[in-house]
Structures are given as C-alpha cells and as structure tokens.
Copies of this chain bind each other. A is one copy, B any other.
Amino acid sequence: MAGIHEVARIAGVSASTVSNVINGRDEKMRPETKRRVLDAITQLNYSPNIAARQLKSGQTSTIGLIVPSVANPFWGSVAHHVERVALQHGYKVLICNAERDPVVETRYAETLLASGITGIILGSSPLSFEHLRDLADNGLHIAAFDRRNHGAENVVACSVSLDQELAGMIAAQHLIGLGHKRIAVVSGPFKTNSRLGRLNGIRAAMGRAKLELPDDMIWQGGDVIGFGDNEGAELGRIGIRELLSRDYPPTAIIAVNDMYALGAYAGARDLGFRVPEDLSIVGFDDIVLSEIAQPALTTIRQPVPAMADAIVRALIRRMEGEAVEGEQAHIDVAPQLIVRGSTASVHRADRA
C-alpha cells in the first residue's frame, strides 16, 4: 500500500501538501497543485492509513455500540438506526455483543478505548455503572440507551430511554381497563434498570386499582443461562406454561419484551389457551414481527429511530466537546401503546 510520501513524490509536492489536500485545507493552494495531488492519489489508489492518523491525532470517527445481543431483533433494529444516524454525522459504528455480562462489557469498553474510540453507547441498562467508572475517568464518554443516567452522572454522560415506569403503568392500565384482575408478569431476571422500572410501573397501576400483584405472579427465568436475551422467546414459553398450570391461572400476561411475549403465544397454545379469548398478552418494544404475529401483538412501542437519533447526537456533542455545562443529560421519550389483537376483555376471570 502506497503512503503519503509516495503520493507526494508522484505529485511533485511535499507530504504536508498531500495531507492538506486530504483534510480539505485547500484554501491557500493553487487549484493546479490540488489537481496534481488528486491525480496522484487516484493513480496510486491511495487511501490514508487510519492507524497512523489516529496515533497522531488521537481521534477516531467511530463510536462503539454495546448491546445485549444482536440475536434479538430489537437490538438489531437499534444497531441499524444508530448506524444510520452516526453515518449521517460522519461516524462509523462498531457493534459488540456483551450478553449483559459486566466482565465482557468492561473488556469490550477497554478494547474500544484502547483503539482510540472515545464514545460508546451502552444498551444493557445495568443497575450500576461502577464497572465502567475507571474507563469514564480515563476519557471514555458513555451514553446509556434504555436507562436514565440518574445517580451515575459522573460516569454516564447522557442517556435516552422510555419512561419505563410510565410504560409499565400504561401496559397494566390497558389490561385493567379490559377488566383483568389476575395479571402476571413474565420476565428474565430483574437485574436491569429498565425491567425494574417497568415492574414498578405495573405495581403502581395495579395498586391504584386496588389489585394485588403477588410474588408468585411474577415469573423470572433465565438466571442460569445468562440474562436470557437470546432465549427470550424460549423463556417466555416456559414461563407462561408454568403460570397457566396454576390452580388460579392469570387472565392476562405482561411480558417484559416482545420476544418473551411471542414465546408466551407458543406456551399458551401448548396448553390449549387461546389468545386473546382465554388470555391477553402485552409486550414491550414493538419489533417488526409483533405486527405479523397471530394475533398481532398489543405492545408498548419504543420509538427506536427517534431514540437513536437523540442519543447519537448527544454523544457526538460530548465527544466533540460541544456540550455546554448543564446541558440536558437525559432524554425521556414517551411510550406509546399499540393496541392490536392479543388483548381483549376478560372472559375466564370469573370462572376461577
């Protein structure tokens, strides 16, 4: 591969001039000189060595995106939109799967920082960001997707998320409004901020309606096999079978995300329950397949394109030092209830 000096030699100029051309500093340069350089560049098929550039300037136009697992279409969609927005701003995106494992997450973040990447977006919504404090102190800008930065302002520069509690409340209220009284929750471990937020919202709404949410109506699976983002659908299926086998089965289910909800469809079917006649199901996220499912899933949509837009812009402002003191650090987006075919007014509730 040819270097900048080779180009300079061919064009009959100095390396500095070539560098100036490449970087658009061509105000004080004869058009003809510029042309000669450009010609040499195309002739040699030259492209700048990124490692060298980075070593010198300390800058990369790359941001890291750490997600639980791209095998979950929700995160696939997030990755897609983050990349789209980043590209518009001249940034590339490096996607990493960390499976919500803080150790893997930290290792990835370290690697990214060591590669000169100074900004990452974290999708794992952990309860604490302590494992990343060192990196943050060393200059890594961290943005949180799907979690507020409250209580971690010095580690997490900015964040976007649904108002998770409100989202949980809306889901529960929808079911309560349909007359459901025995509502269960299906989820993986409540070890993420977002899940906990949703659960609190559900509790609040039920409390207000004078309904109980006993612990045995909260099904938590997947502790052993990780946080269950890969196996969301499978866990949902298992969870609901367990719940529906009870003496007093629930008449409605709130699944912690759409993958669990779709798994719940299968589990309900396994036991001969019809959705929504015998069982109503609500999910969160609104992945593409939710609309396709039979029946189409009622869910709380996360407006991913807008969220990606907000977080990428906010992060880039921080990385480029443009953020002003006290600039709004968290952006709350409104959850949106999408009513489709998986919820209906209660039928079997009275029988129990």
Contact = CB atoms under 8 A, between A and B. Distances in A.
A291 to B, nearest CB: 7
B92 A95 contact: no
Contact of A233 (B97, B134, B292): B292
A269 interface: yes
Given A50-B114, A94-B94, A76 B83 contact: no
Interface size class of A (residues with CB under 8 A): 35 or more
Contact of A265 (B69, B113, B292): B292
Contacts of A83: 97
Interface stretch (A10-18, A51-59, A171-179, A313-321): A51-59
Contact of A76 (B1, B71, B113, B116): B71
B292 A114 contact: no
A154 to B, nearest CB: 18
Interface of A: 1, 45, 47-52, 54-55, 69-73, 75-77, 79-80, 83, 92, 94-95, 97, 110-111, 113-116, 134, 138-139, 230, 233-234, 237, 262-263, 265-266, 269, 288-289, 291-294, 296
Contacts of A266: 291-292, 294, 296
A80 B76 contact: no
B70 A95 contact: yes
Given A72-B73, A83-B97, 19 more contacts: A47-B114, A50-B116, A51-B51, A51-B116, A70-B70, A71-B76, A71-B77, A71-B288, A72-B76, A73-B76, A79-B95, A94-B95, A262-B292, A263-B292, A266-B291, A266-B296, A269-B294, A293-B293, A294-B294
25 contacts: A1-B138, A47-B113, A50-B116, A51-B51, A51-B55, A51-B116, A52-B55, A70-B70, A70-B76, A70-B79, A71-B79, A71-B80, A71-B288, A73-B76, A75-B76, A94-B95, A95-B95, A233-B289, A237-B292, A262-B292, A266-B291, A266-B292, A266-B296, A269-B294, A293-B293
B73 A80 contact: no
Given A47-B110, A289-B262, A292-B263, A97 B79 contact: yes
Contacts of A70: 70, 76, 79-80, 95
Contacts of A262: 289, 292
A49 B114 contact: yes
Most buried by B among A48, A55, A262: A55
A81 to B, nearest CB: 9
